[in-house]
Amino acid sequence: MSPVQTLSPYRYPGGKTWLIPYIRLWLRSRLTRPCEFIEPFAGGGSVGLMVANEKLADRVTLVEIDEAVASVWRVVINGEDDVGLLTDKISTFVMTEQSVELELSRSATSLNDFAFQTILRNRISRGGILAKGAGRLRKGENGKGLTSRWYPETLCYRIRRIVELRDRITFIHGDGIEIIRKFLTRQNFAFLMDPPYTAGSNGAGSRLYTHAILDHDTLFTLAEQIRGDFLMTYDNDQMIHELASGHNLHLTEIAMKNTHHHQKTELMIGKDLSWLHGNQNPE
Ligand SMILES: C[S@@+](CC[C@H](N)C(=O)[O-])C[C@H]1O[C@@H](n2cnc3c(N)ncnc32)[C@H](O)[C@@H]1O
């Protein structure tokens, strides 16, 4: 299978780039290509961007409630401000402790400003965390400190590539639950739901995201009613096993390596996971 081409400008905590080979399998196993692929909890959006890039669905909709995360998508996907100014800012920014301090201490005066500050914060914070209290990279990779994750050319390349995909992608700054509710009855829609999760034993979501509280029972109740297709991913937690069985959904455990290369298992939940049989480790 082809390697994963990263298109997101974000390093996203809990990002799902590792899931991409599974998403390809899932969407290609279907008899018809979905007319719409929706990510109601988009975050860094790496899966939806891949789906658009590889035309695995006619259209893609990303939804995100966090206004900082959304600011980047509003400029890059929706064109609500001049994306050229954003890439200019990224390519000309000279990163020092002082310039970062100055940039992040001033109030954003435009959507572009807000988007730039968000990308900057994302690239210099530990683990890409944008929630309050996130620490900054100190040593970074190879002792390069703050600049260790700042690749202006790559960021601008990715942003320009997303701009080329604009006619296939829509971004909605809003509540993913409401969007699921709105499109529940659409037959040929496919949803990838990767919600923040705080109820588990380590409650990691509350540290990673500004918006980490979600009514998971409501999400499962809606998922059960989806007429099209969906896939949900969660941390491996007993409560999620119980919710899935209580809502008559299929569940399987998937082994993956997290960003620290630790082996862990995640849960995949769907209506029908038969496409996964014999394909537990797609490349
Ligand atoms: C686990 S992360 C998604 C990561 C994403 N799959 C990726 O690959 O980057 C969950 C995201 O859901 C967002 N979120 C939380 N509540 C939401 C809601 N009600 N509607 C939309 N997004 C929400 C959080 O801000 C966070 O970005």
Overall average pLDDT of the 70-88 stretch? 98
Residue 205, pLDDT score: 66
CATH number at residue 40: 3.40.50.150
pTM of the model: 0.94
The answer to whether 265 and 256 are in contact (CB under 8 A) is yes
Amino acid type, 199: A
Q: Which residues line ligand 1 (CB under 6 A)?
A: 12, 14-16, 40-41, 43-44, 46-47, 63-66, 69, 175-177, 194-196, 209, 211, 214
Nearest CA to ligand 1 atom 15: 211
pLDDT at 138 over 90: no
Nearest CA to ligand 1 atom 3: 43
Cross-strand partners of 229: 190
Residue 247 Cα to ligand 1 midpoint, Å, equals: 22
Q: Are residues 191 and 132 in the same domain?
A: no
Over the chain, what is the mean pLDDT?
A: 92
pLDDT at 112 over 60: yes
Residue 4 lies in a domain: no
Residue 197 Cα to ligand 1 midpoint, Å, equals: 9
Residue 1 lies in a domain: no
Q: Cα Rg for the chain, rounded, in angstroms?
A: 19
Q: Are residues 28 and 118 in the same domain?
A: no
Last residue of a domain, one of 128, 163, 198: 163
Q: Are residues 159 and 179 in the same domain?
A: no
Residue 257, pLDDT score: 72
Q: Are residues 49 and 103 in the same domain?
A: no
Residue 220, pLDDT score: 98
Residue from 188, 277, 180, 280 nearest 232 by CA: 180
The answer to whether 263 and 225 are in contact (CB under 8 A) is no
Structure tokens at 39: 């990510």
Overall average pLDDT of the 216-239 stretch? 96
Residue 137, pLDDT score: 84
Q: Are residues 61 and 81 in the same domain?
A: no
Q: Are residues 102 and 227 in the same domain?
A: no
User: What are 22-39's pLDDT values in tens digits?
Assistant: 999 999 999 999 999 999
Nearest CA to ligand 1 atom 24: 211
pLDDT at 199 over 80: no
Residue 278, pLDDT score: 75
Q: Are residues 136 and 179 in the same domain?
A: no
Q: Which domain holds residue 140?
A: 76-163
Residue 283 lies in a domain: no
Residue 148 Cα to ligand 1 midpoint, Å, equals: 25
Nearest CA to ligand 1 atom 16: 211
pLDDT at 219 over 80: yes
User: What are 166-185's pLDDT values in tens digits?
Assistant: 999 999 999 999 999 999 99
Identify which has the larger pLDDT, 90 or 261: 90
Residue 212, pLDDT score: 93
Residue 38 lies in a domain: yes
Overall average pLDDT of the 52-68 stretch? 98
Residue 169 lies in a domain: no
Q: Are residues 50 and 188 in the same domain?
A: yes
Residue 9 lies in a domain: no
Last residue of a domain, one of 109, 136, 163: 163
Q: How many domains does the chain have?
A: 2
Residue 142 Cα to ligand 1 midpoint, Å, equals: 31
Last residue of a domain, one of 116, 138, 163: 163
